[in-house]
């Protein structure tokens, strides 16, 4: 059924260029695909050009926990980051659903850091919650479906000027983060290396924001809706 629907559609919306390439390979019908990323509704609040050289470094994980977002991997990554940055400087923030709070406190409580905060933040309150953070963690278990995904939390981190700390191979932006030194990539299940962190600058991540913003999504969606009106 999926093949029939895609091959006979006038437009098929996908959430990444990788997704588009996959569908083109499997179904053909290339010109009909429209890439609309999972968007952020947060305003772009500017990019930090560097992390603080002294004072606290605030690391945040935003989102849920499940098979695709395993808590033990998020904790492992943040623990390694805290150890390399200096536990006495690192403040960890985990913003997730209340049902996970006890498990998060138990799991992350073993991490050597200056402070651990576990809370639930409504989406409309995210700008304030992320305003003083420095590094945003995104962990997605690599699977055939997740490799073509478009993680919303990465878009929110980019909008807020945070340095993304994420496992490679998920979505479209790895090459941007590498070539511009505007994010930290690691292999899922492998060690995190913050050795080049002093060179990281998120200034160029405005280019990513420009394609994951709601304004850009509406711009790309409008021609699709216009075609539907006239079909």
pLDDT at position 97: 98
Which CATH superfamily does the domain covering 57-211 fall into?
A: Glycogen Phosphorylase B; (3.40.50.2000)
Domain boundaries, the chain: 2-37+214-230, 57-211
Cα angle value 166/170/176 (rounded, 5°): 75
Closest CA to 71 of 80, 61, 56: 61
Report the range of poorest mean pLDDT among 33-37, 74-78, 204-208: 33-37
Per-residue pLDDT at 32 exceeds 80: yes
Average pLDDT in the chain:
91
Determine the average pLDDT of the residues in 205-219.
92
pTM over 0.75: yes
Determine the average pLDDT of the residues in 203-211.
94
Per-residue pLDDT at 3 exceeds 70: no
Closest CA to 34 of 230, 174, 231, 218: 218
pLDDT in tens, 49-78: 667 778 899 999 999 999 999 999 999 999
pLDDT at position 161: 94
Report the range of poorest mean pLDDT among 18-22, 93-97, 161-165, 179-183: 18-22
Per-residue pLDDT at 150 exceeds 80: yes
Closest CA to 204 of 48, 82, 63: 48
Structural contact between residues 43 and 71, judged by C-beta atoms closer than 8 angstroms = no
Count the residues in the chain: 231
């Amino acid at each position: 059924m999926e093949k029939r629907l895609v091959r006979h559609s006038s437009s098929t919306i996908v959430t990444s260029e990788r997704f588009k390439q996959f569908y083109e390979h499997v179904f053909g019908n290339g010109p009909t695909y429209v890439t609309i990323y999972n968007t952020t509704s947060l305003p772009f609040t500017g990019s930090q050009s560097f992390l603080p050289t002294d004072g606290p470094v605030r690391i945040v994980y935003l989102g849920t926990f499940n098979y695709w977002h395993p808590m033990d991997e998020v904790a492992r990554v943040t623990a390694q980051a805290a150890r390399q940055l200096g536990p006495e400087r690192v403040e960890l923030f985990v913003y997730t659903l209340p049902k996970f709070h006890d498990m998060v406190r138990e799991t992350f409580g073993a991490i050597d850091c200056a402070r651990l905060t576990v809370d639930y933040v409504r989406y409309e309150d995210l700008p304030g919650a992320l305003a003083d953070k420095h590094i945003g963690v995104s962990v997605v278990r690599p699977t055939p479906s997740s490799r073509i995904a478009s993680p919303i939390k990465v878009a929110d981190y980019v909008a807020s000027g945070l340095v993304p700390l994420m496992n490679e191979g998920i979505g479209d932006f790895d090459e941007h983060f590498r070539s511009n030194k505007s994010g930290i990539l690691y292999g899922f299940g492998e060690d995190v290396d913050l050795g080049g962190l002093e060179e990281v600058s998120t200034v160029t991540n405005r280019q990513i924001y420009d394609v994951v913003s709601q304004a850009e999504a509406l711009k790309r969606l409008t021609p699709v809706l216009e075609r539907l009106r006239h079909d």
